[in-house]
Amino acid sequence: MKLNKIYTWELESNAGEIVAQYDEKGDEQSWKKLDTESVVRISFIPKIHLLPRHDVFIDHSKGEMFIRRFARGFLKQSADFNLAEYIHCCVTNRYRFWVFSSGRSIITHNEHELMV
């Protein structure tokens, strides 16, 4: 399985609307359909059942807000440039929650970049 396909994302709004990475036909969707101020949950769901699911709950009552999500691939330096790691990230106004293709996760300050 390709590293960028191991985890998929899903966002939920405070109205209960859910936007998943892929629709019923398998076409990729944009998370930007939801107003960022209404997002209350972002989940990273593994396609390999041995890996952990990661759920981030946004607590609006404490001033926490979802900013954006993104993913980034890192290449090995070799003749064919293989994808070495693929990382998903949820950015809030307080932290960044990073999920690696191995299932490992870390939390950093919301302005910190991650280098692999």
Higher pLDDT, 81 or 15: 15
| pTM for this entry | 0.85
Per DSSP (E only), the strands in the chain are 7-13, 18-20, 39-46, 54-57, 66-75, 83-92, 95-100, 105-109
Nearest one of 86, 64, 70, 73 to 30, comparing CA atoms: 70
pLDDT at position 78 is 63
Domain ranges of the chain: 3-109
| Phi and psi, residue 74, nearest 5° | -120, 130
Q: 65 pLDDT exceeds 90?
A: yes
pLDDT band at residue 34 using 50, 70 and 90 as cut-offs: confident
pLDDT at position 35 is 87
